[in-house]
């Protein structure tokens, strides 16, 4: 039956996803049983967002600094 096969495939994918999450959480030092994908990946999102803000700010500061030093030369 096609519906049953699709359900079994979905169940297999969900199991694989759970195993991958457990491995990922352990890799980053989190306890998989007390973490959720939302909290773990939320931490990544906060880090990347903060990093982007700082990188952009520093890049702009460096650009202004170089522009100013060139205009004073």
pLDDT digits (tens, 9 = 90+) for 37-70: 999 999 999 999 999 999 999 999 988 888 888 8
- Give the Å distances, CA to CA, from 38 to 31, 32, 43, 45, 54: 14, 12, 9, 10, 24
* pLDDT tens for each residue of 4-37: 999 999 999 999 999 999 999 999 999 999 999 9
Number of continuous H segments (helices) and E segments (strands) in the chain? 2, 0
Greatest distance between any 2 Cα atoms in the chain: 79
pTM, to two decimals: 0.64
The single-letter DSSP state of residue 35 is: -
């Amino acid at each position: 039956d096609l519906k049953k096969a699709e359900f079994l495939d979905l169940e297999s994918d969900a199991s694989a996803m759970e195993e991958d999450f457990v491995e990922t959480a352990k890799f980053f030092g989190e306890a998989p049983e007390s973490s959720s994908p939302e909290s773990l990946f939320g931490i990544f999102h906060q880090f990347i967002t903060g990093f982007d803000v700082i990188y952009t700010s520093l890049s702009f500061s460096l650009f202004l600094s170089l522009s100013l030093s060139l205009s004073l030369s």
